[in-house]
Amino acid sequence: MIRRAVFVLLLVALAVACGQTQTGESSQVVLGAIYPLSGPQAQGGREELAGVQAALRVSHANVRLQVIDATTPEQASAAVDTLVSKYHVPAILGTYGSTLSATASERAEQLKTVYWETGAVADPVTAHRQYVFRTVATGSSLGRMAVTFTHDVLVPEYSLKAPRAVVVRVNDIYGRSVGGGEEALAKSDGIDVVDVIEYNPSAFDAAVIAARIAADRADFLWDVSYLDDGVAIWRALLSAQVSFKGAIGTSSAFCMPAFSRLLGAGSIGVYAADKPDGEISPAALSASGRDLLAKAKAAYGGGSMDIPAVAGFVGGWTLFHDVLPNVSGVVDSESIRAAALRVDVPVGDSINGGGVKFAGPTALDAGQNTRAAAVVGQWKAVGVMQILYPPAYSD
């Protein structure tokens, strides 16, 4: 009886192990995808997924995406369980939102399933992980981009000897990643962060925040918000007639077309540090990068590719074009992970002007793309953003 029980357990273990293995020669590979397709982050989630799907069409990879809508961290984690146990996927793409990615990537790591982050920027997503890969920039790097632009461009423009800045950020993994990067670099760059205002995006008073910012009398505002709260805070600042030499938002609010559309003329002059969109300067791309961008736009539907769509395409293209065709033998989490670590895409070859090279397994941020692109743009008119920095990306 004991030997029979052991034999049965071995069979169960073998079935589980084989369940996440798919042959790489002729059969279709099923991969998971988790994005917020409803709720407050739906617009960005849908655009990012559409970018992934465009990359799949351009690549002609024999892949089927099993897509699950998730709007809360709990749903994102449960979606990982469903995709692994029911569909036996070796890899999952996602997630657009950092709070969703935090739980989904953690659960995938526990299950030793590759998690392929195409858009979320919070730093801990790739920290101390072996099965998580991210193709976009980290939150701290976007924060540092805002500070670097302030230091290199705005401070000299206004001939400031003792520049002052205030950080406004949401009180979650996204806000602290970006804001933390801003605080750290500002100190070394000689910019005095006179206040850090952290708030709950579900329960805040924009007028109170605006009043506190006004009292800080800072030269620069570095804002880390989501769309609705970012718009509310900026409206409150405009209403209170609080002015800055530069206001720079990051990632999930100030960069979005909806920010300019909702604020109208009030958005003009505001800066945003984020990932590039599809209107990138050709000078930032190699010949192959320009060719791929044209194909991406055609596959996307010929319309403009906003930031989430470009991020989704870069992530999807890297997986479908640079990883899966180079998997040896069966397609499983281990073979995908091994192939991903060998990817070496030069800067300029990705449609956002970056490249792809993942940090190795001994790095603290193993799986983070060390060649991810980030830019700073400014709203020049309602709905019209011009990229200003770095110079190679300037329109």
At 64-96, the pLDDT tens digits run 999 999 999 999 999 999 999 999 999 999 999
What mean pLDDT, rounded, does the chain reach? 92
Spell out the domain ranges in the chain. Answer: 29-137+285-340, 140-274
User: Does 36 have pLDDT greater than 70?
Assistant: yes
End-to-end CA distance of the chain: 74
User: Does 16 have pLDDT greater than 80?
Assistant: no
φ, ψ for residue 88 (rounded to 5)?
55, 45
Query: What's the rounded mean pLDDT across residues 221-234?
Result: 96
Banded pLDDT at 11 (limits 50, 70, 90): very low
Number of Cβ within 10 Å of residue 78's Cβ equals 17
**What is 140-274's CATH topology?**
Rossmann fold (3.40.50)
What pLDDT does 98 receive? Answer: 93
**Which tokens is 299 given?**
């596959």
Q: How far apart are CA 348 and CA 355, in angstroms?
A: 6
pLDDT tens-digit readout, 102-123: 999 999 999 999 999 999 999 9
Element of type H or E holding 228: helix 227-239
What pLDDT does 111 receive? Answer: 98
User: Which CATH number applies to 29-137+285-340?
Assistant: 3.40.50.2300
Q: Which of 3-12, 90-99, 249-258, 281-290 has the lowest mean pLDDT?
A: 3-12
The answer for residues whose C-beta is within 8 angstroms of residue 4's C-beta and 6 or more apart is: none
Q: Ramachandran region of residue 41, left (φ > 0), alpha (ψ -120 to 50) or beta?
A: alpha
- Give the predicted TM-score (pTM) of the model: 0.88
What pLDDT does 26 receive? Answer: 55
φ, ψ for residue 97 (rounded to 5)?
-95, 135
Q: How far apart are CA 164 and CA 192, in angstroms?
A: 5
Q: Pairing between strand 246-250 and 375-381?
A: unpaired
Are the folds of 29-137+285-340 and 140-274 the same? yes
What pLDDT does 12 receive? Answer: 33
What pLDDT does 21 receive? Answer: 56
The answer for residues whose C-beta is within 8 angstroms of residue 155's C-beta and 6 or more apart is: 163, 191
Q: How many helices (H) and strands (E) does the chain have?
A: 13, 12
User: Does 200 have pLDDT greater than 80?
Assistant: yes
For residue 311, give Cα distances in angstroms to 55, 190, 273.
11, 32, 14
Q: What is the 3-state secondary structure (H, E, C) of 323-340?
A: HHHHCCCCECHHHHHHHH
Banded pLDDT at 394 (limits 50, 70, 90): confident
pLDDT tens-digit readout, 294-312: 999 999 986 789 999 999 9
Percentage with pLDDT > 90 across the chain: 88
